[in-house]
């Protein structure tokens, strides 16, 4: 019998800072609107010529995580890469990481669960470790949103929210069964698939040859979000799935030392914080600086919280996410 634990964490965000005022210059929005509705003050965008892609950012975060885990890259038995913005339609980002890091020919899995992608990835890694099959798994969440957003006023409800960046974790075998990843809880509800989606690049359209090249009015090539519906579902599902994880482990909300919510909207995080009676010290938010980095959001926030000394041995750490699919999930960790 084995448990699994996070043995190393890393993050990378592009240097290029885009403030709300910067966006106000190119679309009809304002710093006040964005801060009031989302809490976001600025986000990072890849800049032309900086060499970043979704895979490259993930690799930069992964190198830090591997070093902090104290293992050699060739000790990695599996790569799991979560993103909704892969470098290529296929193959996925995992193989690009394997090649760039020159890791032996280990397996690579891509996970397509958007904002819940990192939770789904951790849950997958955890099972491979607990089964005894693998000892060290590299999990990456990375997004290049800025390459695919509508920067006209038409796209403002979505575009102001999202940012670029990556986070990574090494998940390793743990012999002490009282420590590490205690459980993960995953859900989906596909009836809402089109309420937060990017429909345009799909194989049905290729087959039926209904694709139009360079049509500026074809908004199906930009992400669509039914914002209020997503918001309402998010606050319910976040709360439910955190409670599910606590119940599974006979924990009470006041035993949470650190909650890392997916950074979708500061108002969602604050609602969840209040619902569970947590203080500001028990929740780590950084959406103010990075916006919503989807699969990157939880590993970036987790890395930051850990770097700032907010997570210590023995702490109960709760990760929770909700997003496109709809999919949602939580992971309960004893650090
Ligand atoms: O990570 C995946 C999960 N995602 C989420 O959880 C996001 C959940 N949803 C939200 O966070 C919020 O719904 C948003 C932040 C996306 C939008 O906030 P809202 O309070 O729901 O605003 P709204 O969409 O109802 O729009 C209100 C008004 C509209 O104008 P009218 O129709 O009232 O005249 C919008 O056109 O605000 C307008 N608006 C904007 N105005 C300035 C929408 N986007 C903007 C903008 N700047 N960027």
Residue with CA closest to ligand 1 atom 16: 227
d(CA 222, CA 2): 44
| Residues near ligand 1 (Cβ within 6 A) | 29, 33-34, 37-38, 115, 156-157, 160, 227-228, 230-231, 234, 264-265, 268, 292, 323
Task: List, for residues 98-141, the tens digit of each pLDDT value.
Answer: 999 999 999 999 999 999 999 999 999 999 999 999 999 999 99
pLDDT band at 214 (very low <50, low <70, confident <90, very high): low
106 as an active site residue: the answer is no
Helix (H, G, I), strand (E, B) or coil at 301: helix
For residue 34, report the distance from its CA to the centre of ligand 1, in Å.
9
For the four alpha carbons of 37, 40, 41 and 46, in that order, the dihedral sign comes to: negative
> For ligand 1, what atom is nearest to the CA of residue 156?
48
Dist. CA 32 → ligand 1 center (Å): 13
262 among known catalytic residues: yes
Mean pLDDT of 138-152: 97
Give CA separation, 61 vs 12, 64, 141, 169, in Å. 5, 5, 9, 8
Residue of 227, 232, 262 with the most ligand 1 atoms within 8 Å of its CB, for mutation: 227
In this structure, are residues 171 and 201 in contact, taking their beta carbons and an 8 Å threshold? no
Distance CA 293, CA 304 (A): 14
Q: How far apart are the first and last CA of the chain?
A: 18
Confidence of residue 60 (pLDDT cuts 50, 70, 90): very high
Q: Tens digits of per-residue pLDDT, 300-313?
A: 999 999 999 999 99
Ligand 1 atom 24: the closest Cα is on which residue? Answer: 227
Cα-atom radius of gyration of the chain, to the nearest Å?
19
Q: Using the mean position of ligand 1's atoms as its centre, give its distance from the Cα of residue 241 in Å.
A: 25
The pLDDT-based confidence of 218 (bands split at 50, 70, 90) is confident
pTM score, two decimals? Answer: 0.97
pLDDT category at 211 given cuts 50, 70, 90 is: low
User: Which residue's alpha carbon is nearest to atom 12 within ligand 1?
Assistant: 227
Please give the C-alpha separations between residue 296 and each of 34, 59, 171, 310, in angstroms, as whole numbers: 21, 12, 16, 19
* Ligand 1 binding pocket mutation candidate from 231, 239, 272 (most atoms within 8 A of CB): 231
In whole angstroms, how far apart are CA 219 and each of 29, 198, 223?
A: 19, 9, 8
Task: State yes or no: is 292 an active-site residue.
Answer: yes
Q: What three-state secondary structure class fits 278?
A: coil
| 58: Cα within 13 Å, side-chain hemisphere | 35
Tokens of 109: 């899995």
**Residue 259 to residue 275: CA distance in whole angstroms:** 12
The whole-number pLDDT of residue 258 equals 98
Residue 255 pLDDT > 60: yes
Q: Residue 238 is inside which H or E element, if any?
A: helix 227-248
Q: Which of 117, 171, 112 is nearest to 141 (CA)?
A: 117
Nearest CA to ligand 1 atom 14: 227
Q: Give the model confidence (pLDDT) of 28-52 as tens digits.
A: 999 999 999 999 999 999 999 999 9
b/e code 7-25 from CB counts within 10 Å (16+ = b): bbbbbbbbebebebeebbe
Domains of the chain in sequence order = 3-174 (3.40.47.10), 180-334 (3.40.47.10)
pLDDT digits (tens, 9 = 90+) for 73-82: 999 999 999 9
CB 306 within 8 A of CB 156: no
Q: How far is CA 76 from CA 44, 139, 204, in A?
A: 29, 10, 37
């Amino acid at each position: 019998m084995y448990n699994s634990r996070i043995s190393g964490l890393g993050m990378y965000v592009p240097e290029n800072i885009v403030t709300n005022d910067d966006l106000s210059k190119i679309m009809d929005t304002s710093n006040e609107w964005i801060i009031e509705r989302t809490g976001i003050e600025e986000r990072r965008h890849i800049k032309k010529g900086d060499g970043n892609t979704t895979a490259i950012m993930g690799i930069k975060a992964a190198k830090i995580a591997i070093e902090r885990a104290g293992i050699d890259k060739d000790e990695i038995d599996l790569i799991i890469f979560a993103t909704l913005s892969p470098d290529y339609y296929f193959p996925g980002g995992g193989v690009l990481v394997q090649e760039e890091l020159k890791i032996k020919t280990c397996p690579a899995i891509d996970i397509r669960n958007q904002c819940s992608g990192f939770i789904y990835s951790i849950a997958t890694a955890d099972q491979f470790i607990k089964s005894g099959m693998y000892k060290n798994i590299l999990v990456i969440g990375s997004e290049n949103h800025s390459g695919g957003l509508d920067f006209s006023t038409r796209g403002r409800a979505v575009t102001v929210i999202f940012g670029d960046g990556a986070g990574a974790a090494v998940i390793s075998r743990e012999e002490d069964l009282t420590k590490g990843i205690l459980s993960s809880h995953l859900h989906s509800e596909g009836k809402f698939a089109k309420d937060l989606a990017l429909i345009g690049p799909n194989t049905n359209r290729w087959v039926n040859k209904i694709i139009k090249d360079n049509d500026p009015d074809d908004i199906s090539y930009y992400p669509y979000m039914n914002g209020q519906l997503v918001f309402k579902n998010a606050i319910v599902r976040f709360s439910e799935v955190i409670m599910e994880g606590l119940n599974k482990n006979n924990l009470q909300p006041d035993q949470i030392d650190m909650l890392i919510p997916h950074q979708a909207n500061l108002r969602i995080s604050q609602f969840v914080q209040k619902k569970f009676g947590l203080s500001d010290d028990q929740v780590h938010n950084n959406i103010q600086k990075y916006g919503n980095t989807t699969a990157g959001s939880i590993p970036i926030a987790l890395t930051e919280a850990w770097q700032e000394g907010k997570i210590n041995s023995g702490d109960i750490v709760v990760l929770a996410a909700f997003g496109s699919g709809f999919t949602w999930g939580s992971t309960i960790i004893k650090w």
